[in-house]
Structure 1
């Protein structure tokens, strides 16, 4: 078996764990303030709080780490966090009041702010404006399922905190199975613009053309609800997005299914999600130290567990590790 095949299979096996955790059964329970119950194959159930009163996991300030934060931010007293919300459960999405941003990304950002002794202030913007705001120093750090890529490392510093796996989602019962470029040849696949999953899909399409196969028919939609309507109506065959989002959606709606997974960094590298800050801002080291603090004290594991994402845990936060290659082959 080739190294590429082995890596793909390893990535698939790891991601299947999350799909099984989420996909066996799920239901909403608005009578107790809004929850989603997701039952795994083992019979254990993760009850996810969808209400605005999150009772978030908290942790103590660590003075030695807080002292490393750039003085301008310390004097301000807030950590300006930026994310891209919408309906990307369980990553970042709106609670049942349609205004409170919740999710695993938000919880982890709050924990990091705790360690740094700063008040978290979440700014919700469109995906592209995350980077515009980081570039202008309007925001300090992005917590929004941002993948480490070699191209992004030219402009940003990264402190990793979760594994990154992508998923192909189809209408339930489609019979599709996606393991590589040949399986999406000629298929109409929706993807969000400017994401690493778009980069992967573009590379796969080029690979198909070089091999004499049909290219991928790539489709772009403004929001997830439009994408899922297109999937249900048969206007698209597949949707490529973050694995946690796809698994959660499939579990809680029962209308779709995950038909293939892939590392967000390509065939030869495990993708990683990271806190993202402007390059040389002076913030990446305290961010990584804060993330390692919550990993060590157990609050990190508590947050991942409450969102059903234990399988995406990392052992340590790394600063600027190898990312998605400029050419994803």
Structure 2
């Protein structure tokens, strides 16, 4: 059965108060946990050790039966995620080899429902999609935003809200509420992402209004980006809000100075499991996600990573996504 749920528009898509409140934490004394404040007055200890003790759930035969036969016969769900370390989404445990985070946890939970053994492959961002195109991988759990352009090649089953965060050096005095606030600023962003698309459109909007464009910068990895931010070579870094908030909380050297919906000003962005178009996986994935939403294990996973504020009430198949143009 296909899930349905009325679309929630972003009545206040530009929210300066982060949906994910991460604050005041340091490096764990034992190298295996990090403490964050997920909500006011509620601390969450994040387990960063290889021994994850993940939340699990039982197989649901009626949902598992909907998985395409070729996948059922292998008994394995080939999952793919970006190899870039981005806590608390997908990153490496303290052994520097075990893949952990909210994305792997949700992928494991879905595989449980489908009665499949999850196998996580980590590749560069662009190769996530190359691998899906070639059917090398079955499904991407990699903080992938639903966009109208991507829907032409992929099917989606949503599982989290998508909010972007503008991260600045602590004490910058910046406050980002719209395109005019980034006019003339130097902003780093990852290539091929929806945040890049939004930033470029904001820059064009500034030029049309007679304001200075954005000076967009690209770096090979997060460490180079944050070095540039600390040294003042860039003013801002635009990335996923959970990552920005987590970095600000754990280092104390940066701050989130504005957030924005990943789908633009009039639509709440959504993160989704991505599969090759017409692969037959979207419906069982959405059904599995709705099952774990209903049985409470989904909420447990989000809570253990401090991301309860990005929960959805239902998984949707191919909902409206980031438009091809926001003009």
Q: TM-score range by the shorter chain?
A: over 0.9
The separation in 1 between residues aligned to 2:132 and 2:213, in whole angstroms, is 34
The separation in 1 between residues aligned to 2:44 and 2:279, in whole angstroms, is 38
> Contact 1:86/1:94 (CA < 8 Å) preserved in 2?
no
Check 1:70–1:28 CA distance in 2 against 1; reply closer, same or farther (3 A cut).
same
Residues 130-156 of structure 1 show CA distances to partners (whole Å, capped at 9, x for unaligned) of: 000000000000000000000000000
Could you tell me how far 1:27 is from its partner in structure 2?
A: 1.6
Residues 290-324 of structure 1 show CA distances to partners (whole Å, capped at 9, x for unaligned) of: 00000000000000000000000000000000000
Could you tell me how far 1:44 is from its partner in structure 2?
A: 1.7
Could you tell me how far 1:34 is from its partner in structure 2?
A: 1.3
> Contact 2:189/2:239 (CA < 8 Å) preserved in 1?
yes
Unpaired runs of 5+ residues, structure 1, are 1-5
Q: Does 1:16 align with 2:18?
A: yes
Correspondence for 1:77: 75
> Contact 2:13/2:267 (CA < 8 Å) preserved in 1?
no
Could you tell me how far 1:159 is from its partner in structure 2?
A: 0.1
The separation in 1 between residues aligned to 2:285 and 2:12, in whole angstroms, is 32
Which of 286, 289, 292 aligns to 2:290? It is 292
1:38-117 residue pairs with structure 2 within 5 A?
38-39=36-37, 42-117=40-115
Correspondence for 1:3: none
Could you tell me how far 1:28 is from its partner in structure 2?
A: 1.9
Residues 241-272 of structure 1 show CA distances to partners (whole Å, capped at 9, x for unaligned) of: 00000000000000000000000000000000
Q: TM-score if structure 1 supplies the norm length?
A: 0.95
> What is the aligned-residue RMSD (CA, Å)?
1.3
The separation in 2 between residues aligned to 1:10 and 1:136, in whole angstroms, is 35
Correspondence for 1:163: 161
Q: Does 1:247 align with 2:245?
A: yes
Correspondence for 2:184: 186
198-207 or 85-94, which deviates more:
85-94
> Contact 2:22/2:37 (CA < 8 Å) preserved in 1?
yes
The separation in 1 between residues aligned to 2:19 and 2:81, in whole angstroms, is 26
Check 1:74–1:16 CA distance in 2 against 1; reply closer, same or farther (3 A cut).
same
Relative contact order, CA 8 A, sep 6+: which one is greater? 2
> Contact 2:204/2:213 (CA < 8 Å) preserved in 1?
yes
Unpaired runs of 5+ residues, structure 2, are 1-8
Q: Does 1:317 align with 2:315?
A: yes
Aligned structure 1 segments of 4 or more residues deviating by more than 4 angstroms: none
Partner secondary structure for residue 237 of structure 2: strand
Q: TM-score if structure 2 supplies the norm length?
A: 0.95
> Contact 2:183/2:214 (CA < 8 Å) preserved in 1?
yes
**Alignment size in residue pairs:** 319
1:225-244 residue pairs with structure 2 within 5 A?
225-244=223-242
Which of 211, 214, 237 aligns to 1:213? It is 211
> Contact 2:38/2:306 (CA < 8 Å) preserved in 1?
no
The separation in 1 between residues aligned to 2:279 and 2:39, in whole angstroms, is 45
Correspondence for 1:29: 28
Partner secondary structure for residue 156 of structure 2: strand
The separation in 1 between residues aligned to 2:313 and 2:12, in whole angstroms, is 21
The separation in 2 between residues aligned to 1:10 and 1:195, in whole angstroms, is 19
> Contact 1:74/1:118 (CA < 8 Å) preserved in 2?
yes
> Contact 2:13/2:265 (CA < 8 Å) preserved in 1?
no
The separation in 1 between residues aligned to 2:122 and 2:13, in whole angstroms, is 34
Partner secondary structure for residue 25 of structure 2: strand
Could you tell me how far 1:29 is from its partner in structure 2?
A: 1.6
Correspondence for 2:301: 303
